[in-house]
Structure 1
Amino acid sequence: MIAEIHNPTQSPHPPRVLVVDDSKTMRRLICLALQDAFELEEAVDGVDALERYSGFKPQIILLDMEMPRMGGLEVIRQLRETVEDTDTFIIVLSGLGENDLKAKALNMGANDYLTKPFHPEELKARVSVAGRQVLLNHELRRAYARISAEIALVASLQHQLLPNADIVTEGLEIQSLYRPSGQASGDYYDYFRMADGRIRLVLADIAGKGARAAFLMAIVQAFFRLGRRDNHSLEKTVTLINDHLMEISPSGSDFATLFAGEIDLEKGFLTYLNAGHCPGLLINPNGTAQLLEAQVYPLGMLAIENVKANVIPFAVGARLFLYTDGMFEWELDQSNMLSLGAFLVQAKLAAAAGGDFLDALAGKLTDLTGATPKYLDDQTALWIRRSGPTAAKRT
């Protein structure tokens, strides 16, 4: 039995080399050429090689093709497919005229080949190149691990910036959805009470992905929280964000779309600003639907002056759906993407169904294809409803 895959670069100096050949003379010649610079182990055929692989943990294998019990091709297949070892560097030892066999070995996962008879200096050079490649792969793996850990930390910190699932206020229900496509996301949502009792909410989508988008998301979050502390209007908050993004990236490549709103429960109004974002879907108490389209360009692209928020009724029974484009930018089939219009049709049907809106919407979208959609981007959404005393919840 073959042991599970090992890390072939745990001790890169000197590299471990497994010499596999049924000829004792050939094994001896190879070992004499390599013994000063490498840690060596010998195997007499493919079966012996797989047994020694588990204990010796070679970084490099010199592999003859024609051997009793098990040949070189089967050894390659076992290592690459069964054990799923893609790291160990395999150098095929082939005879003159074995071009077809050599090609098969390379196609199955061998990294290099050496034709018998070979000069000892060429052998040492080929194995040294393999050793450098193994070491490079090891360093790359360590670098990727560090990056992955840092991105995971960013994602953890980013998640802490999102609001807690606490009661927001009497008469308002808020349901949220946040599903990053990767560890760190450029999507952001927030809601909180202002000093005068109004409920401010925002949903934003930062261009790009990964750590940079997450960093810009934190900037947007900071400005909205600053607006709460200093009692800035929606217009001033949005203008400050736009100016700051333009300072960071004058080319306009770092931009954000967002929908920001403020609900006055006492007067029954919604004040909102849409900066290049997907249209908000407002369901009025009588069941009619209204799209809240963008009033200005995405933030960070162009200077904005004299921006003015819209004010509309938001009475008891009114509902508001905010979302990012990741909710609808996915493939219905191999040749068709779901359109915004088709997505909004399903959102209206989910709203009419009553109950848990986001669960109902997920069911409607699944029904379109008969399976859970294969989302390509972050999915973030807010569902806000004027109601009786209800706790906000997060999914």
Structure 2
Amino acid sequence: MQSRFTDSAKKEEEADRQSRQAFIANLRHELRTPLNAIIGYSEMLLEDAEDAQPQPSIADIKKIHSAGNQLLMLVNIILDPAKIEEQHSEFDLETFGTGLRHDLRTPLNAVIGFSEMLLEDADDPAQESDFMKAAVPDLRKIHSAARQFLCLISDVVNFSKIEAGLMMQELKISSESLAVRHTMGIVRSLAYMPAAMPVTAEQGNLLVVDDNEINRDLISQRLGRQGYSVTVAESGYQALKMIRSRTFDLVLLDIMMPEMNGYQVLEQMKHDGKMQNIPVIMISALDEIASVVRCLEMGAADYLSKPFDPVLLKARISAVLERKRLRDKEQLYLRSLERELEIGREIQAGFLPDSLPRVPGWEIAARFHPAKQVSGDFYDAFLLSEDQKVIGIVIADVCDKGVGAALFMGLFRSLIRAFAGLHYSGNSEKCDHGSALTAIVSKTNDYIARNHSSANMFATIFLGAIVPESGLLTYVNGGHEPPVIVGPAGIKKELEVTGPAVGMLPDVVFGYEMTEIGPGDILVSFTDGITEALDPNDNLYSKKKLFSLFSEPAGSAEALSDRIEASLKDHTAGADQSDDITLLTVRREGCIKGQGEG
């Protein structure tokens, strides 16, 4: 029982500590907001004064700026979380509020007093200074911010009523209590937020998001002076709507906003494909390291605490925009590269046959799936002889993948076609197919090995000549995956290699073999992109699985190609394709018992 009471007391103490920390953090945020305006507007007035004639008023503006910085220093000291935590046992909110008003009142009175005197001087009909007349809007904003600061420190005691659970109606409807309501609303919205998911200035289009009008105006003026085009949004919802409909180079985003705070806006931006690449700088009076880390982990480009140093703001924005410009250039280059690769794909597609030969009694089918935009695989089927009595078939796999392999693919294909034209220029009945095929492959090999040896590129090639009338197949297999002849009962023969891969060394010897494709038989040739295709668990498709598909007869070359393609798709199950996939099937028609696609 004692342990239960102890645990309960610890939980209450921890809850009190968290509540106290939240209160201090958000009070510091609310107090720093008007201080940001006092310091910022006075800095801009002093900058303008440098270009004007000497003014007696400049001394008073310097006093306002100095008092503003003094207020900021006192707020940071008095509301230091570590210091308050050391004194938490003696912490009394009402006493704390009284002390806060006492410590801050003197520099605050200076800001209010000097701004009032300057406004009186500016409104004097005898006032002739253009600088003073132009300074009136900013002086009024300084005076308004100082009065807001006074209201906040005068009403700190009301926080104790809220924390004690009293109804908001007990607070008088005044500017002070409205400020308290605003702050506490933000505290509650942040308390229920989910945890975060793990140069010189150049012009840019910037969006400033802040619910405080003074903050929006101050930052907009500052950035406008630096040459930026600035748009403002007073809420997170409005900001998201504007980002979806317009183009921005950078978003400066406040954290402490009602309804939708900065964390929520940042989260939505980073989960939206159209907005996620827009850089975001968080600007907030919240200066805890946890808040900084949280924003950066959520994808913010940078974080600045208010009141911000104008030189630092300029440098941070310039750095972020420079990174964005470099990223935009990179994306533009990648898009142009993708277009070049698409053009390459279109050109390469021209190397593949537009249509396959139609020979009575024979059917040819092909499947081609490059792993990238361009491929190192290729296939070809064409009539070798002038009398159209011999069908030439080629399937090849150039080493490597991508652009280099694709360029050599075009070279290999062109060489084979050119040398085939030389050796099959006459009557096919007088042609020695074995000698012709070995000569075609040997010349292709020697050209690549002698002229492009430094590229270290080679290809595995299967080249065959089919006499349709007899079904005779003569072939050279230069290091390629052995094609198979499939009959009604399964695999009848594998067409093993007759020489090395093509293009590695000059003057190598290639042999040839002869076999027959009988009625109803299908010649199946393929690249290793099929047998080595991976499933999501990195398991190979394998020859065994491919060959198992041949146990049932196929009614056509297209039907068998479809069967292989469907099996391969089931195996890969959406996994990334790791290699080019090429399939070429040639079927000799004929009557087979039980013929049909099973």
Q: Provide the residue aligned with 1:354 in structure 2.
A: 555
Residues 72, 247 of structure 1: CA spacing in aligned structure 2 closer, same or farther, 3 A cutoff? farther
1:17 to 206, 209, 217: 206
For residues 84-123 of structure 1, the aligned pairs below 5 Å read 84-95=274-285, 97-123=287-313
Kept in 1, the 8 Å contact 2:210–2:216? The answer is: yes
Matched, 1:142 2:332: yes
For 1:200, the aligned partner's letter is G
For residues 263-342 of structure 1, the aligned pairs below 5 Å read 263-284=466-487, 288-332=491-535, 334=537, 336-342=539-545
Matched, 1:60 2:250: yes
Kept in 2, the 8 Å contact 1:62–1:90? The answer is: yes
Moved more, 197-206 or 35-44: 35-44
The 2-side partners of 1:333 and 1:237 are apart by 41
Q: Provide the residue aligned with 1:133 in structure 2.
A: 323
RMSD: 2.6
Deviations 1:157-195 (A, max 9, x none): 211221133543222211111122232111111111122
The higher radius of gyration belongs to: 2
Kept in 1, the 8 Å contact 2:460–2:501? The answer is: yes
Deviation at 1:296?
2.3
Moved more, 239-248 or 16-25: 239-248
For 2:581, the aligned partner's letter is Q
For residues 178-327 of structure 1, the aligned pairs below 5 Å read 178-195=368-385, 197-231=389-423, 233-247=436-450, 249-251=452-454, 253-284=456-487, 288-327=491-530
For 1:91, the aligned partner's letter is I
Q: Provide the residue aligned with 2:241 in structure 1.
A: 51
Kept in 2, the 8 Å contact 1:21–1:67? The answer is: yes
The TM-score, its normalising length taken from structure 1, stands at: 0.86
Name the SS for the 1:174 alignment partner.
strand
Kept in 1, the 8 Å contact 2:356–2:365? The answer is: no
Q: Provide the residue aligned with 2:583 in structure 1.
A: 381
For 2:555, the aligned partner's letter is G
Kept in 1, the 8 Å contact 2:518–2:588? The answer is: yes
Q: Provide the residue aligned with 1:79 in structure 2.
A: 269
For CA contacts below 8 A with separation 6 or more, give which structure has more relative contact order: 1
For 2:319, the aligned partner's letter is V
Q: Mind listing any 5+ residue stretches in structure 2 that lack a counterpart?
A: 1-200, 425-435, 591-598
Kept in 1, the 8 Å contact 2:500–2:510? The answer is: no
For 1:221, the aligned partner's letter is R
The 2-side partners of 1:283 and 1:217 are apart by 28
The 2-side partners of 1:367 and 1:40 are apart by 54
Deviations 1:270-298 (A, max 9, x none): 11111221111122577552111222222
Residues 372, 117 of structure 1: CA spacing in aligned structure 2 closer, same or farther, 3 A cutoff? closer
Identify, as 1 or 2, the structure richer in helix: 2
The TM-score, its normalising length taken from structure 2, stands at: 0.58
Residues 313, 145 of structure 1: CA spacing in aligned structure 2 closer, same or farther, 3 A cutoff? same
For 2:411, the aligned partner's letter is I
The 1-side partners of 2:566 and 2:551 are apart by 11
For 1:296, the aligned partner's letter is G
Q: Provide the residue aligned with 1:29 in structure 2.
A: 218
Residues 367, 180 of structure 1: CA spacing in aligned structure 2 closer, same or farther, 3 A cutoff? closer
Deviations 1:243-286 (A, max 9, x none): 23334542563221111111123443211111221111122577
Number of residue-to-residue matches in the alignment:
374
Deviations 1:9-66 (A, max 9, x none): xxx9731011122333333332333223211112223223223324442110111111
For 2:216, the aligned partner's letter is R
Residues 26, 374 of structure 1: CA spacing in aligned structure 2 closer, same or farther, 3 A cutoff? closer
Percent of aligned pairs sharing the same letter: 32
